[in-house]
């Protein structure tokens, strides 16, 4: 291109020079008789010059245009290399590059917070609702982060459902805490996509520059550790990095590996805690509770491993094998005894659940009328529509639903009306303190009155003392469960309890006249 312009310029120059030199080189042609030839030559050369000029202008324009296209392609390529195509947010690379500029204006005694976030239970949501839905959720989530952050700082998507934020400059930690709370409030608002609504939480892990490190990679690592800690609390919350967290993160990773193996090898077992009819002192049913003992970690409590199983998408696998085991065991009990089984909140968003439960019941020849599924209020709040649909399918099969930990969560009375609830389980925290704390006693009494009015069975959890047992009896509570009677026991021990009961040896401190 450049070469053709030079050539054309040369033609223009040569033409111009020829016009000037012609009379000098051929002076005789200056006479009248040669005028005509001179005019022709001049016109030809002028025409050539005009053409060259036009062509030159056109070629220059084209060159400019091409350069422009090339430079915008370059800018686009640069933008692509620095942004996440799904959300349009900066990516990890851009975040790393931008960090040095962001810390330049941090005065002594001031901070910027490096925050890591990820969505609670994103994987199961993505699996259940599909990837298009997951993508929409990520985009809206990204928008909310960007909107809350405003113009100061940077928010980036690091991959999957992982996001990072470098905050505006803060004077102290409490300002960072306030900012994290604002983010959580915004995140916790319900997301709406067409006729589908969904509530989803997020954890936030925070590392402070320069207090927790100077390099962005180290700050991100520390914020990630704090994020794990935030998520293990089971709520949508934030945590600041603390030095002793480093060791615990290693522990959690190892635990997750062990749990995956234990679940696939069916080493997690169901234990059975009796639920008593407080009027007769007899066992009305058993609640299956998951138990896992690892060779190195020892007995790991379900409150520790169930959230891990939920988090890494293996809770459904665990539930299916535990339920199948429990049905096999419960089939050997007297026919009037029921089996109570816990479901995780994420499972009430899984449309495949009713079919799975039904085929497990069929395969193990266990009547659905003897199965009670325990759910928590959280699972209803998260996505009421899908929970309602799934619960309706389960109750159509003949299964009963119990509301677990009642009183401890949202305690919205409308759940009892809007969902097919057959039982409420009064949370342990009220039962335990009902003799020492008037408010707890009042709550227990209120739940009992309410359940009676709605014709729902109430089961008091955490009965540890006989005085509490008596107080429950006086208040008309018909069912109880707790260490006063028995902790969760193995299938063999449970059948031992039932044998003793059949022999008229009531194992528990029940009313003697009921024997
Ligand atoms: P939860 O469903 O509320 O289960 C009752 C918990 O209270 C059990 O703890 C039980 O051992 C404990 N408990 C029973 N009686 C007493 C008592 O008198 N005093 C005290 N202090 N505690 C008592 P566990 O087995 O550690 O289970 C804790 C939670 O883990 C359960 O709470 C449930 O939310 C979850 N979980 C356990 N097994 C499963 C399972 O198979 N699937 C799911 N999704 N969650 C499970
Ligand atoms: Ca339960
Ligand atoms: Ca409970």
> Facing residues of 83 across strands?
90
Tell me what the mean pLDDT of segment 384-400 comes to. Answer: 95
- Is 459 near ligand 1, meaning CB less than 6 Å away? no
Cβ of 405 closer than 6 Å to ligand 1, yes or no, is: yes
Question: Rounded to the nearest 5 degrees, what angle is found at the Cα of 425, between the Cα atoms of 422 and 431?
Answer: 150
CA nearest neighbour of 133 among 141, 124, 144, 125 = 125
Q: Please give the pLDDT value at position 514.
A: 36
- Distance CA(493)–CA(488), nearest Å, equals 9
Question: In the numeric block, which tokens belong to residue 72?
Answer: 């915008």
Residue nearest to atom 19 of ligand 1 (CA): 462
DSSP 256-306: HHHHHHHHHTT--EEEEEEEEETTTTEEEEEEEEEEEEETTTEEEPHHHHH
From first CA to last CA, the distance across the chain in angstroms is: 106
Q: Find the mean pLDDT for residues 216-223.
A: 92
**CA 402 / ligand 2 centre spacing (Å):** 9
**299: Cβ below 6 Å to ligand 1?**
no
Q: Is 509 in the pocket of ligand 1 (CB under 6 A)?
A: no
Q: Which of 245, 238, 235, 253 is nearest to 212 (CA)?
A: 245
Q: What is the whole-number distance in angstroms between the Cα of residue 408 and the centre of ligand 2?
A: 13
Residue 253: per-residue pLDDT: 84
| Residues 64, 66, 72, 75, CA torsion sign | negative
- How far is residue 437's CA from residue 439's CA, in Å, rounded to a whole number? 6
The 10s digit of each residue's pLDDT in 180-190 is 999 999 999 99
CB 414 within 8 A of CB 433: no
User: What distance in Å separates the CA atoms of residue 279 and residue 501, rounded to the nearest whole number?
Assistant: 15
SS3 of 314-349: the string is: CHHHHHHHHHHHHHHHHCCCCCCCEEEEECCHHHHH
Model pLDDT, residue 489:
97
Q: Do 390 and 401 meet the contact criterion of CB atoms below 8 Å apart? A: no
CA of 297 to the centre of ligand 3 (A): 25
> pTM for the full model?
0.63
Q: Is the Cβ atom of 426 under 6 angstroms away from ligand 1?
A: no
Q: Whose CA is nearest to atom 8 of ligand 1?
A: 289
**Minimal-distance CA residue to ligand 1 atom 17:** 462
pLDDT range class, residue 5, cuts 50, 70, 90: low
In the numeric block, the tokens 């029921």 are attached to 338
The residue with tokens 């982060």 is 145
Residues facing residue 364 across a β-bridge: none
Query: Which pLDDT score, from 0 to 100, does residue 329 have?
Result: 98
Residue 290 beta carbon below 6 angstroms from any ligand 1 atom: yes
Higher pLDDT, 22 or 245: 245
Q: Are 114 and 209 in contact (CB under 8 A)?
A: yes
Which CA distances in Å does 164 have to 23, 157, 160, 345, 502?
79, 6, 12, 27, 61
Q: Which residue is listed with tokens 């190195």? A: 296
Helix axes 315-330, 302-311, angle to 10 degrees: 130
pLDDT given at position 515: 32
Structure token digits, residue 67:
């350069």
Question: Where does 397-490 have alpha helices with state H?
Answer: 413-418, 428-433, 438-454, 466-474
Who's near 52: CB < 8 A, 6+ residues apart? Answer: 8, 9, 11, 12, 15
Span 26-83, pLDDT tens digits: 555 555 555 566 676 666 667 676 776 777 677 778 877 776 766 666 566 666 678 9
Q: What is the pLDDT of residue 251?
A: 81
Tell me, using a 6 A CB cutoff, whether residue 488 lines ligand 1: yes
Place 512 in a pLDDT band, splitting at 50, 70 and 90. Answer: very low
How far apart are the CA of 405 and the centre of ligand 3, in A?
A: 4
Residue 493: phi and psi, rounded to 5, are -65, -35
Averaged pLDDT for residues 160-173: 95
d(CA 225, CA 22): 87
Mean pLDDT rounded to a whole number for the chain: 87
Q: Which of 270, 271, 289 to mutate to test the pocket of ligand 1 (most atoms within 8 A of CB)?
A: 289
Q: Where are the beta strands (DSSP E) in 110-230?
A: 111-119, 154-159, 162-170, 191-193, 196-198, 202-209
Q: What angle do the packed helices 35-82 and 2-25 form, to 10 degrees?
A: 160
Ligand 2 centroid to residue 297 C-alpha, Å: 24
> Residue 156: is its pLDDT beyond 90?
yes
Q: Is 316 in the pocket of ligand 1 (CB under 6 A)?
A: no
Residue 281 Rama label (left phi>0; alpha psi -120 to 50; beta): left
Query: Is the C-beta atom of 347 inside 6 A of ligand 1?
Result: no
Residue 210: pLDDT band with limits 50, 70, 90: very high
Q: What is the mean pLDDT of residues 471-475?
A: 94
Is the model's pLDDT at 198 over the cut of 50?
A: yes
Identify the CA nearest to 262 among candidates 225, 227, 312.
Answer: 312
DSSP per residue over 12-67, as a string? Answer: HHHHHHHHHHHHHH-GGGGSGGGHHHHHHHHHHHHHHHHHHHHHHHHHHHHHHHHH
Helix (H, G, I), strand (E, B) or coil at 479: strand
From residue 340, give the alpha-carbon distance in Å to each of 64, 346, 386, 414.
Answer: 76, 18, 22, 23
* CA atoms in the 13 A half-sphere facing the CB of 154: 22
| 461 alpha carbon – ligand 3 mean position (Å) | 6
């Amino acid at each position: 291109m450049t070469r053709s312009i030079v050539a054309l310029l040369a033609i223009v120059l040569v033409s111009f020079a020829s016009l000037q030199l012609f009379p000098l080189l051929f002076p005789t042609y200056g006479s009248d008789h040669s005028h005509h030839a001179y005019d022709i030559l001049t016109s030809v050369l002028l025409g050539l010059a005009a053409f060259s000029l036009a062509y030159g202008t056109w070629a220059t324009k084209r060159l400019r245009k091409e350069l422009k296209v090339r430079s915008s392609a370059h800018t686009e390529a640069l933008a692509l290399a620095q942004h996440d195509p799904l959300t349009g947010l900066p990516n990890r690379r851009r975040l790393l590059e931008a960090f040095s500029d962001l810390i330049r204006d941090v005065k002594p005694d001031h901070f910027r917070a490096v925050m890591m976030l990820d969505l609670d239970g994103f994987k199961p949501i993505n699996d259940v609702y599909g990837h298009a839905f997951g993508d929409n959720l990520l985009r809206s989530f990204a928008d909310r982060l960007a909107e809350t952050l405003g113009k100061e700082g940077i928010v980036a998507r690091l991959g999957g459902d992982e996001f990072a934020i470098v905050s505006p400059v803060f004077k102290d930690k409490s300002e960072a805490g306030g900012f994290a709370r604002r983010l959580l409030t915004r995140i916790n608002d319900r997301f709406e996509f067409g006729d589908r609504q969904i509530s989803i939480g997020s954890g936030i892990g925070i590392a402070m520059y320069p207090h927790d490190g100077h390099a962005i990679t180290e700050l991100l690592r520390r914020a990630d550790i704090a994020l794990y800690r935030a998520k293990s609390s089971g709520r949508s919350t934030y945590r600041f990095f603390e030095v002793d967290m480093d060791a615990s993160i290693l522990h959690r990773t190892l635990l997750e590996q062990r749990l995956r193996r234990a679940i696939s090898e069916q080493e997690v077992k169901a234990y059975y805690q009796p639920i008593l009819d407080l009027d007769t002192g007899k066992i009305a049913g058993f609640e299956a509770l998951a138990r896992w003992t690892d060779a190195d970690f020892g007995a790991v409590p379900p409150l520790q491993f169930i959230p891990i199983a939920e988090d890494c998408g293996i809770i459904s696998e665990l539930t299916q094998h535990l339920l199948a085991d429990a049905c096999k065991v419960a089939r050997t009990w007297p026919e009037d005894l029921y089996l109570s089984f816990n479901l995780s909140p994420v499972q009430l968003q899984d449309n495949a659940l009713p079919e799975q439960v039904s085929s497990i019941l069929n395969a193990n020849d266990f009547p659905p009328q003897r199965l009670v599924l325990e759910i928590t209020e959280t699972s209803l709040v998260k996505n009421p529509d899908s929970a309602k649909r799934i619960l309706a399918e389960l109750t159509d099969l003949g299964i009963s639903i119990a509301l677990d930990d009642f009183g401890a969560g949202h305690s919205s009375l409308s759940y009892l009306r809007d969902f097919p609830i057959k039982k409420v389980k009064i949370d342990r925290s009220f039962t335990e303190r009902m003799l020492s704390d008037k408010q707890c006693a009042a709550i227990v009494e209120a739940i009992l009155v309410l359940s009676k009015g709605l014709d729902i069975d109430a089961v008091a959890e955490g009965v540890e003392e006989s005085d509490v047992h008596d107080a429950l009896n006086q208040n008309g509570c018909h069912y109880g469960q707790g260490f006063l009677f028995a902790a969760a026991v193995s299938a063999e021990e449970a059948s031992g309890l039932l044998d003793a009961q059949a022999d008229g040896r009531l194992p528990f401190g029940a009313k003697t006249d009921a024997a």
